[in-house]
Chains A and B, each alone.
Chain A
């Protein structure tokens, strides 16, 4: 009878585990805005999926990857700062996605679910996709980790020491696109970056090594999912925002309680 709750927990855990290391990388490389742009683009993916009557998960994953590729290409031009390019793409894709969703005939869309997540209606197939992708991303991060860290510390130094910097940067962005795609159902397009950044920032206070930070961030994200779902269950708050607010509360407690020690 509580099947939907177990499924929600399962989906949330899948995303939380991969959000730890990926969120840490996003924080270290200052890619929060990049993630935000990908998330907004995911809305276009939903619209595309409905229009072509595809599975939503597949359409979102494809569109996220496409937008990541587009951003990588855009970053090579020197005319506009990356920040500006992201600002343009982020908000135009959000606006375009919202318009597209209202224009598609017969599509009964629950806009709130798209923007803020709808983890309680997750299906078995969607949970399977989340875990499959999360597992794949984790394995990729595991293998790429030394190189990803090396380019985080200093790109030119890494390049002189033989790291294929450009390949690692592209891989990181594509992997981030996958994480964004699977996070969408849990917290919605507007809150995905928060789910990545807040656990990582919370974990920072206890970590002495990059790996500790990544692992602890996963733990914090799992706790946030549990607390958010519990709050939603007992107090009847929307789940996605509750998960993010739980994470923020952890962060504030850690910041106020331990901030001075770091």
Chain B
């Protein structure tokens, strides 16, 4: 057990944001937090990180806890001259280790680049490298694929999965996009101020509370998915959540050996 939350509640200015939330993070397991805007995802992450204290409930942390945190968004003003290497050295001053971390996330060539000029995907990988430099046994990733195109998102989720295996660390991810994250996670916690439902992606995606919250988005997922694989595009939202659940493993496996026609289809779907 790395971190355990029991009955955690938090209010801001007498408005309740979280109510009796239970959450437990263990080594080797990816937990994904999903929920609509205002569901309290960020608040919950901050409680997990120890940045804010809950009003009610208990937070237990392992004594050996080393947290690697990847924030939601990093905006470096161009007025601050900062190279990637220097950015990483805030976490670990050893240049060799900084380079190794960048190599692990596949962007070693950026080491001397200014941070303010990085693309969305490069930025996310650099942030992930900084989290790794702490030699974490828990990674907290707040919207890790934000600002990354679809192909990059999938590669990033795959990298996160590999890191989990290598480090045997627990991972808490936040996401509000559903289609790719479902395939990349062991457990989904659906949050809307309280825990609506949780379980494996397969369990959660047929849960009535989940369907009530994400019905429209799930339909969107099915739609994109169909285009990406050039399958019959006639499927609509009626059985949306079911088809998404059945399709997701297929999606993951077929994309590893992506054929040229797949890639073309995806590009068309993105337009």
Contact = CB atoms under 8 A, between A and B. Distances in A.
Are A and B associated in one complex?
Answer: yes
Interface of A: 27-28, 30, 78, 146, 149-150, 152-154, 156-161, 200-201, 204, 207-210, 212-213, 262
Contacts of A209: 81-83, 86
Contact of B80 (A78, A152, A157): A152
Contacts of A146: 90
Contact of B90 (A161, A201, A212, A213): A161
Interface residues of B, number: 24
A207 B86 CA distance: 13
B87 interface: yes
A189 B50 CA distance: 42
A96 B134 CA distance: 51
Nearest to A212: B81
Nearest to B45: A156
Given A150-B90, A154-B74, A209-B86, A160 B67 contact: yes
A153 B71 contact: no
B90 A27 contact: no
A241 B110 CA distance: 43
A156 B81 contact: no
Contact of A156 (B51, B78, B80): B51
Q: Which of B71, B82, B134 has the most A CB atoms < 10 Å from its CB?
A: B82
A212 B81 CA distance: 9
B271 to A, nearest CB: 33
Contacts of B150: none
The list of the 5 closest CB pairs from A to B, nearest first, reads A160-B69, A207-B81, A28-B80, A150-B90, A27-B79
B82 A153 contact: yes
Nearest to B134: A161
B219 to A, nearest CB: 35
Contacts of A213: 81
B90 A156 contact: no
A166 to B, nearest CB: 12
